[in-house]
């Protein structure tokens, strides 16, 4: 059953080939047997999952099932889940049992989705390798000495190793797409505002967005339809109707204009990544797409702008974790200041502290104009570059990540080289656009990713292009040995 895609599982449930309880047991059993090698889950909610599965089967028997009813999914541990520990990969929230569900979780639950558990992640979603988690690193099923990417590395590893048919993730600068690339799965970051951020623990509020992590684009379309939509509890959520992401999947690509980003293709691009990108471009051409070289003249500023904006917002968002209302509190504080200092010192890991310090500095009086305001201006320039490019093309293509999965520990002492993992993905968040990563041909036996970027709210088109590529190629069907 674990070889099947979400779409196939949905059809199998509808045909009565197996029940949701059988399906859920199968995946819980795989998690128990195999996750010791990966560490992709922080919490496995077996009992609750089986109860949800039973309810889903009853709903189906009553003739009230939808396409996602009875499908098991894992949630990144950044989404609040009622009655279940929601740690965000941090010691700070190790003891936090959420009193409510995030909107994304609530919607999927209402559709009948079964939650298998909560997946490991970089602490507060800060990282590109899943090594900053309080719960230890996640391993890449393609090579367990290597990282799965981050920050949604647990979700990526679980889907790649077939421990879950699909998972949710979040992407602030690349955290859905880069781990999808490094583990050989499909990951979609929707337009900012498409999925509600309510109940999704905030890292950088103007950039964070939830999305599906699946094996195929068709599955991403199915899951996005269950996650997305307006939510009055999130003031940045977009009040516009959802597209039907499934109906346009098969549209032919004849005449599609695909922009290839000149700036991404020239600067010392890794030869294996270049070849993988070219192979997907060739497939697009074969299907009648027209490839146009485009320029994003300010895109080289995106990592620098992001590492001002994201830490600034994180320093503000994380100020609520003070050891008073919830989360970690130090033992025997001497006074209030000692309580704050020690609770935060003990609760946060090194990378989170680094971000809080950078962000507090960038927002402080005297530096605010020089850093934060400047970064916001650069952000506008980058968004304008994309707007100009989309006058010429329908979608934009690039590699997802600059290299294949690296070894655990290889970059831990060099934060800047870690930050450069997102060199192709970060601009998309700064501009609020949707982006998808799909598997491209492997390089050196390890997965690579191909990124497609769309106009605002043009997820349907990205899914269509990705699906058409996957219909004609088999890069997305490869599975890691031993799982
Ligand atoms: N790797 C980037 C960072 O560390 C992006 C993380 C993310 O998208 N959540 O900030």
Q: Whose CA is nearest to atom 5 of ligand 1?
A: 173
Which residues are identified as catalytic?
76, 151, 175
Which residue do the tokens 């999808």 mark? 180
Mean pLDDT of 476-481: 97
Q: How confident is the model at residue 430 (pLDDT cuts 50, 70, 90)?
A: very high
Query: Where in the chain are the domains?
Result: 6-254
Strands 395-399 and 257-261: parallel
> What pLDDT was estimated at residue 326?
86
Share of the chain above pLDDT 90, in %: 96
Mean pLDDT of the chain: 97
127 lines ligand 1 (CB under 6 A): yes
Q: Please say whether the beta carbons of 217 and 463 come within 8 A.
A: yes
> What pLDDT was estimated at residue 266?
80
> What pLDDT was estimated at residue 157?
98
Share of the chain above pLDDT 70, in %: 100
CA distance 369 to 296: 25
Mean pLDDT of 451-460: 98
426 lines ligand 1 (CB under 6 A): no
CA distance 328 to 232: 31
Mean pLDDT of 112-127: 98
> What pLDDT was estimated at residue 26?
98
SS3 411: coil
pLDDT in tens, 298-309: 999 999 999 999
Identify which of 464, 398, 69, 436 has the alpha carbon closest to the alpha carbon of residue 256.
Answer: 464
Q: Which of 11-20, 215-224, 336-345, 415-424 has the lowest mean pLDDT?
A: 415-424
Q: How confident is the model at residue 61 (pLDDT cuts 50, 70, 90)?
A: very high
| 452 pLDDT above the threshold of 90 | yes
- Domain 6-254: CATH superfamily is Amidase signature (AS) domain (3.90.1300.10)
- Burial level of 336, CB count in 10 A (0-12/13-18/19+)? exposed
Instruction: Give the mutation target among 128, 154, 188 for probing the ligand 1 site: most ligand atoms within 8 A of CB.
Output: 128
- Burial level of 384, CB count in 10 A (0-12/13-18/19+)? middle
Helices 350-363 and 302-317, interaxial angle, to 10°? 100
- Does this model's pTM top 0.75? My answer is yes
The structure tokens listed for 170 are: 């979040």
> What pLDDT was estimated at residue 104?
98
| 267 pLDDT above the threshold of 80 | no
CA distance 132 to 349: 7
Q: Whose CA is nearest to atom 10 of ligand 1?
A: 126
pLDDT in tens, 139-155: 999 999 999 999 999 99
Q: How confident is the model at residue 41 (pLDDT cuts 50, 70, 90)?
A: very high
> What pLDDT was estimated at residue 265?
85
């Amino acid at each position: 059953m674990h070889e099947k895609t979400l779409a196939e599982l949905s059809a199998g449930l509808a045909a009565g080939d197996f029940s949701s309880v059988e399906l859920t047991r199968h995946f819980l059993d795989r998690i128990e047997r195999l996750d010791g090698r990966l560490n992709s889950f922080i919490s496995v909610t077996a009992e609750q999952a089986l109860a949800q599965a039973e309810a889903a089967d009853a709903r189906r028997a009553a003739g009230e099932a939808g396409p996602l009813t009875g499908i098991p999914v894992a949630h990144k541990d950044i989404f609040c889940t009622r009655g279940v520990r929601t740690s965000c990969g941090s010691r700070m929230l190790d003891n936090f049992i959420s009193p409510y569900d995030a909107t994304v979780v609530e919607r999927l639950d209402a559709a009948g989705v079964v939650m298998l558990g909560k997946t490991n992640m970089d602490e507060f979603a800060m990282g590109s390798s899943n090594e900053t988690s309080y719960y230890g690193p996640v391993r890449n099923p393609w090579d367990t000495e290597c990282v799965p990417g981050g920050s949604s590395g647990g979700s990526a590893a679980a889907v790649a190793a077939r421990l879950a048919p699909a998972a949710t993730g979040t992407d602030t600068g690349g955290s859905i797409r880069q781990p999808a690339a490094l583990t050989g799965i499909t990951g979609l970051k929707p337009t900012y505002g498409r999925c509600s951020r309510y109940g999704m623990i905030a890292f950088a509020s103007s950039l964070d967005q939830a999305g599906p992590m699946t094996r195929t684009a068709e599955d991403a379309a199915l899951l996005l339809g269950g996650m997305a939509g307006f939510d009055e509890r999130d003031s940045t959520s977009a009040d516009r109707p959802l597209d039907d992401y499934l109906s346009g999947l098969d549209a032919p690509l004849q005449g599609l204009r695909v922009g290839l980003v000149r700036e991404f293709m020239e600067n010392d691009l890794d030869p294996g990544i270049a070849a993988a990108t070219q192979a997907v471009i060739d497939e697009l051409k074969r299907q009648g797409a027209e490839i146009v070289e485009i320029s994003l003249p300010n895109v080289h500023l995106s990592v620098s702008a992001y590492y001002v904006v994201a830490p600034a917002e994180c320093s503000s968002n994380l100020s609520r974790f003070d050891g008073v209302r919830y989360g970690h509190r130090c033992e025997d504080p001497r006074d209030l200041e000692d309580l704050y200092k020690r609770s935060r010192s003990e609760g946060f890991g090194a990378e989170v502290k680094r971000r809080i310090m950078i962000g507090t500095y960038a927002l402080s009086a005297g530096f605010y104009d020089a850093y934060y305001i400047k970064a916001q201006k650069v952000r506008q320039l980058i968004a304008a570059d994309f707007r100009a490019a989309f006058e010429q093309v329908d979608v934009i293509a690039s590699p997802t990540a600059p290299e294949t999965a690296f070894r655990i520990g290889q970059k831990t002492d060099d934060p800047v080289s870690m930050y450069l993992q997102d060199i192709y993905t970060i601009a998309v968040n700064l501009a609020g656009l949707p982006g998808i990563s799909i598997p491209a041909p492997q390089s050196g036996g390890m997965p690579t990713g191909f990124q497609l970027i769309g106009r605002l709210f043009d997820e349907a088109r990205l899914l269509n292009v990705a699906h058409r590529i996957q219909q004609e190629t088999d890069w997305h069907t490869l599975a890691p040995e031993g799982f």
